[in-house]
Structure 1
């Protein structure tokens, strides 16, 4: 008989395993401070300086580490997958015969004389369908974390909103081509490579939509 202490210890371990918070899919830094401007030549007293100049007729968009870029999240993904399969096989076998042998006992002669009909049929039908739909819309301001050798910008950022004890957190990371940045310093999330978008809720509402630890523990070990 298993001791009660062993059962409680096992349930406690399952509880700890079930209560581990899921890891965030956004693993890279989500913020960076702008780098110090390094002057390659001394200040000659002119108005125009190479290290700090901002062209009047250039669109002010994110270009350097620490610059801010507005991401318009407009993800709308859907997928449908269906499959049908069927198989049918049937067969029929008939046997018949008669015999009359001299000096043969009647029981054996009756056994050798007769007919048999054998019929077999095998039918299989399978059908499956899955539908998936995901819609995510919003806006988030992110920071240029790094500038790659080819000029692409590595982005990262998060937004937290707390209302009456309920916290909603959005994290975003990815890589963009600066040529895709539109007027107003904005870019669509559909133009972001390696995009990782995460929305997490904390509070009473999120707890109400979370399965209890005991139920999660039994679902993890239930074999059926």
Structure 2
């Protein structure tokens, strides 16, 4: 009885550990963005009435270029992927052993109860064949449209802008979150201070939800345990 209780306790601990360890997808280091080289700082002139980075010209556009500026991102993601795989393997083999001869005559013998009183020899043949065929197909189509305003969080040494933003929408069944982050090239920003999401480097686009709607479409911890690798059956 004590052993059964101990096993039940270990099972409960394993289930809770599995429920808490929901790992996020890991990025491949080979695809990590390369940071630009940091140039040497320019010599600052003493006594100037203007401060670098705070100037404002009479004739200039409204494009985001400083930390804290707002940029409009137009979501135009539309991806489609299809993968088809087919394979076929066939193999056959035949082996035979010829009955030897003894003094010019075929060798034969009689085993009572085995050959039924008939002559038997040492000749034999063996044949085998295998045939396998399989096919698989995977199709995926994703579409993500809309817009979100993000904020410049960092100006890189080469002039590129690191942006990040989140939109939160409260609904009856729960909350919806849209998150966008990445690196923007100033030349790709339109005159109306907007940029398409397809022109954002190292882009991360996330659309998640919580509340009743999110819980209804989420697998429970017990169901995750039964389909996990720790399930022995």
TM-score band w.r.t. shorter chain: 0.7 to 0.9
Aligned to 1:62: 64
Can you give the 5+ residue segments of structure 1 that lack an aligned partner in the other structure? 26-38, 44-49
**Distance of 2:11 and 2:177 partners within structure 1:** 34
1:199 matched to 2:182 = no
**What residue number does 2:4 align with?**
3
- Alignment partner, residue 112 of structure 1: 121
Query: Does structure 1 retain, via aligned residues, the 8 Å contact 2:108–2:120?
Result: no
The alpha-carbon distance between structure 1 residues 106 and 158, as it changes in their structure 2 partners (threshold 3 A), is closer
- Residue 144 of structure 2 aligns with which residue? 136
| Distance (Å, rounded) in 2 between the aligned partners of 1:91 and 1:53 | 84
Report 1:84-163 matches (<5 A).
84-93=86-95, 107=110, 110-112=119-121, 116-163=124-171
What is the distance in 2 between the residues matched to 1:111 and 1:16? 68
Residue of structure 1 in register with 2:56 after alignment: 53
The match for 1:41 among 17, 26, 48 is 48
Pair 119,16 (structure 1): closer, same or farther in 2 beyond 3 Å:
closer
Return the offset for 1:200.
1.5
The 3-state SS of whatever aligns with 1:131 is strand
Deviation at 1:72, TM superposition (A): 0.6
CA–CA distance in 1 between the matches of 2:22 and 2:169? 20
Distance 1:197 1:24, change over 3 A: farther
Name the counterpart of 1:216. Answer: 224
Gaps of 5+ in 2: 27-45, 112-117
Question: Residues 27-71 of structure 1, C-alpha deviation per residue, up to 9 Å, x if partnerless?
Answer: xxxxxxxxxxxx97338xxxxxx9442333x32110111000000
Question: Could you tell which deviates more after superposition, 15-24 or 125-134?
Answer: 15-24
Structure 1's 112 and 51: CA in aligned 2 closer, same or farther, altered over 3 A? closer
CA-CA distance at 1:22 after TM superposition: 5.8
Residue 189 of structure 1 is matched in structure 2 by 197
Answer whether contact 2:169 2:176 (CA < 8 A) is retained: yes
